[in-house]
Amino acid sequence: MAKNNPHLNPETFRDALATVKEDGKRNWVYPKKVKGFFYRYRTYLSWVLLAILFVGPFIQVDGRPWLLFNIFERKFILFGAVFWPQDTHLLIFLLLIFFVFIILFTVVFGRIWCGWACPQTLFMELVFRKIEYLIEGDANQQRKLNEAPWTAGKISKKGIKLSVFALISLAIGHLVMAYLIGIDQVLEIVSRPPAENLAGFIGLIAFSGIFMFVFTWFREQACIVVCPYGRLQGVLLDNNSINVMYDYVRGEPRGPIRKNEKAEVHKGDCVDCTLCVQVCPTGIDIRNGIQMECVNCTACMDACDEVMVKVDRPKGLIRYASESSIKEGVQKLITNRVKAYSVVLILLIAAFITLIATRDVFEATITRFPGMTYQLRDDQTVSNLYQITLINKTFEAQEVNLASLLAGYRVEKVGDQNWVLEPQSKMEGRFFLVKDQASVDLPQEEVPLSLTHDGKEVEQIKTSFMAPVYK
């Protein structure tokens, strides 16, 4: 989009990152403290979103977590509904819906997610950065402190800041683990000595250390270098996408206001104060146009509006707008591209609803017991041992039975004879298929089995039976 701006030279900023010096070293960003309309409401929204984020693991539905992403046991709970490995196709559809929605949202509204709702931005700009301002001061004071020799004052400030950062990082690490393994498991880990659950303890420390590293040192590099969403921005946005934009038509040619300047000298509204650059958390100049590093945090909008009020010029020199609206004065949201993505999204949602409505309430998987083929018994019968995994996807306890549909076979359960599945749970059991040895006609035969509940068949499963033939 910046190529349409006649006042910019792409060679001055497209070939380098603002956070990297010419010699390749890190160019540390010290964003100036910002205030204003958008920053105030971003703060309010961050309180709400962070509250939801921290409360999430504690919310339970009928004794189950409201949200759980247990990648270790391949068990996912979304809004109280459990998804098992057998529901992988449903999770794929959910991911596709989420991905297409993100594309559609970005095509229309740009990277508003990054600036207003992304956890990285919420924690970095509205938690850790605020603490840093409180302890070390504004941008210039932070810069001076970092360049100053190590004194008792510097050591105390850095020590206090890092201690607070470490405590918050520990809280975030525990929060992430709660979403992965459940709040009950996390409480059990922290209430016992580390040696009793070393894997869980190492996981908590590892997650906390990662967040400490990101928010203390890596910072904006997570958005610029790591985040794939920022990289995708270049192919998702077009001239009709709404972003934080500098109105170069109104602002150029830029220049400071000087006393006794001749009236015939034409200047745009931009007074070249560079405050928009000073408050940017990724160190870019928004006046260069749309850039990969921009997270749409609105800090430059608040800073510019404050200056415009002081120089008695209209607000909105930097605002939410599209390239088309700035260049041509026309904003078009519903484009053919938006319509196409919308159709795809609607089709995916319809398919997902259909799959949910037709999903089986029970799942059963039968496998032969490892390392065993058949067993000859003293009563002149032959048996095969199997393992069965049963999944109850309903919200009520269910008792199920298993029977052979092929004459001459009977099912013998091993251990508990009553297979009762708790709501939204998984159970594993063992059973024998038994047949009279004299009636064996084939060394391997396919046997259909019927899984029943309350006398009704809920699923049919086929397995193979192996036995020696003596005829």
Asked if residue 393 has pLDDT above 60, the reply is yes
Q: How confident is the model at residue 281 (pLDDT cuts 50, 70, 90)?
A: very high
- Higher-pLDDT residue of 228 and 140 is 140
Q: What is residue 14's predicted lDDT score, i.e. its pLDDT?
A: 63
Tell me how far apart the alpha carbons of residues 241 and 237 are, in angstroms, rounded to a whole number: 6
Distances (CA, A) of 290 to 296, 415, 417: 10, 66, 67
Mean pLDDT of the residues in the chain: 87
Evaluate the omega torsion of the peptide bond into residue 423 and state whether it is cis, within 30 degrees of 0: no
Q: How confident is the model at residue 207 (pLDDT cuts 50, 70, 90)?
A: very high
Asked if residue 9 has pLDDT above 90, the reply is no
User: What are 451's strand-pairing partners?
Assistant: 402, 459
Residue 298 structure tokens: 């609105």
Instruction: Tell me, letter by letter, the H, E, C secondary structure of 314-354.
Output: CCCCEEEECHHHHHHCCCCCCCHHHHHHHHHHHHHHHHHHH
Q: Most confidently modeled of 68-72, 213-217, 255-259?
A: 213-217
Q: How confident is the model at residue 11 (pLDDT cuts 50, 70, 90)?
A: low
Q: Most confidently modeled of 256-260, 370-374, 399-403?
A: 399-403
- Higher-pLDDT residue of 78 and 206 is 206
Report percent pLDDT > 70 for the chain: 95
Residue 265 structure tokens: 């000298």
Q: Which of 283, 303, 301 is nearest to 291 (CA)?
A: 283
Q: How confident is the model at residue 265 (pLDDT cuts 50, 70, 90)?
A: low
Q: What is residue 151's predicted lDDT score, i.e. its pLDDT?
A: 94
Q: What is residue 2's predicted lDDT score, i.e. its pLDDT?
A: 44
> What's the CA angle centered on 190, arms 188 and 193, to 5 degrees?
95
Q: What is residue 66's predicted lDDT score, i.e. its pLDDT?
A: 85
- Higher-pLDDT residue of 232 and 320 is 320
Asked if residue 8 has pLDDT above 50, the reply is no
Asked if residue 179 has pLDDT above 70, the reply is yes
**Long-range contacts, 467-470 (Cβ 8 Å, 24+):** 467/374, 467/382, 467/384, 467/435, 467/437, 467/440, 467/443, 468/374, 468/376, 468/382, 468/437, 468/440, 468/443, 469/440, 469/441, 469/442, 469/443, 470/437, 470/438, 470/440
Asked if residue 436 has pLDDT above 90, the reply is yes
Asked if residue 64 has pLDDT above 80, the reply is no
CB 43 within 8 A of CB 50: no
Asked if residue 31 has pLDDT above 90, the reply is yes
Asked if residue 382 has pLDDT above 90, the reply is yes
Q: What is residue 471's predicted lDDT score, i.e. its pLDDT?
A: 63
pLDDT, tens digit, 9 for 90 and up, residues 41-59: 999 999 999 999 999 999 9
